Structure 1
Amino acid sequence: MATGRTHRPATRSRGIPEATVARLPLYLRALTALSERSVPTVSSEELAAAAGVNSAKLRKDFSYLGSYGTRGVGYDVEYLVYQISRELGLTQDWPVVIVGIGNLGAALANYGGFASRGFRVAALIDADPAMAGKPVAGIPVQHTDELESIIRDNGVSIGVIATPAGAAQQVCDRLVAAGVTSILNFAPTVLSVPDGVDVRKVDLSIELQILAFHEQRKAGEEATAGAAAVQAAAREETSTDQGPDGDVPAVMPA
């Protein structure tokens, strides 16, 4: 198989928008699930629902791939899996290094989805000398002193940073200097990279904070709706105590 160093995905050269590129993995995940159930074809509406987008956006995205489906039949699942995988560069072998083998790095090393999606963990790297030689997910951890030679010998172009925030930029600089051009950053910090290097940041705390915002907003809406309901009930009760002209009836003498 070709390695990632000599073959790059064709998405940019084909003029596919970044927003569409970001949705392609969602479509691929949904299509892979259909393929595993031996579903031969899928409509745009069904696939859009499974991927969490609207069908018009899905059809527009697929038009960039030159795939329009068949009216009354839908899209061929296996062909779309191949087409999207090829567009994302997943039909190639992409060697990846993971730097920082703490709890998160070890969890990433043990993730079984890498191999099935075209990624091969070429090396696990950590700065702690005590970690050197210890197997994690069947791969012996290597010291950061060997970083540059590992990248060169394995033709690595994708690096994963799972170090503490304070070490992330230095690791990033060494990865870039050694020839890595794509970085997945799990460290809670923003990395500075030169032009031509792509960085994707994964920050679980930010995602949780966004969810907290939505939960707070929903709670506020529920509280507002509850207060409105109480006020409406109070108005209704007041209106039933009034006379036909809206006045409170006088007390009749005994």
Structure 2
Amino acid sequence: MSRTARLFQLMQALRSLPSPVTAQRLALETGVSDRTLYRDIDTLRGLGAVIDGAAGYGYTLIEDASLPPMAFDDEELEALVLGLREVQAVGDPALKEAATSALAKLRARVPEAQSRRLQHAVLTAHRFAPPPPPGIDARQLRRAAWDEVQVSFAYRDGQGQDTRRAVCPLAIVYFEASHCLLTWCLLRGDYRAFRLDRMRDLVVSDTSFRPRRAPMLRAFLEQIRGSADSRDNSNGLLPEPKQSR
């Protein structure tokens, strides 16, 4: 790991770990000796970061010079916290980690008074029954959707039948009980939704369907809305699409 990357990792540890953080914990996070850690702290201070503490007492990041202050009003701040905590409640492991990291970065960028407000926000999100974990690497699946390449996976439907599917991945949507991948299914020649917890053995191909993801997703969502309208769905929410058999 380069020294620049290590310093960046140290800053992120100072942002995200409960303070004060001991030198031993920071050294463990960055994979260096205690002596090197002390030198890295001095380097960050020299670059403008305000870091309180000393060896034997732990360290607290007071001001992050690399991130300029951001201005949010109180309602915007509550909305940001609620959204990120919702991701922590229902996201896959990679997204939960990303939301925790984003909250730490947000705390470092807002003025001190708002940083305290952020830590004790009125709004929060909680799920007593969190969604089942995905059976595949959701981060890899998201990347395939962004790159607009076809994927294949083993799938077990609600009746216990096993199939192998090749699809164009369009979006991942959280419904009431699970995460679903919205797709164009090559086997069925139609739009289909697949629960991530029923997927296994994900394979990402190099077969591109660019630039059709956005229009295909719009068409699928319009199909879902049309189904909702035909059933006189008065609550205005999108119903869960029919899952593949």
> Which structure features the higher share of strand residues?
2
TM-score, scaled to structure 2? 0.29
TM-score, scaled to structure 1? 0.28
> Which structure features the higher share of helix residues?
1
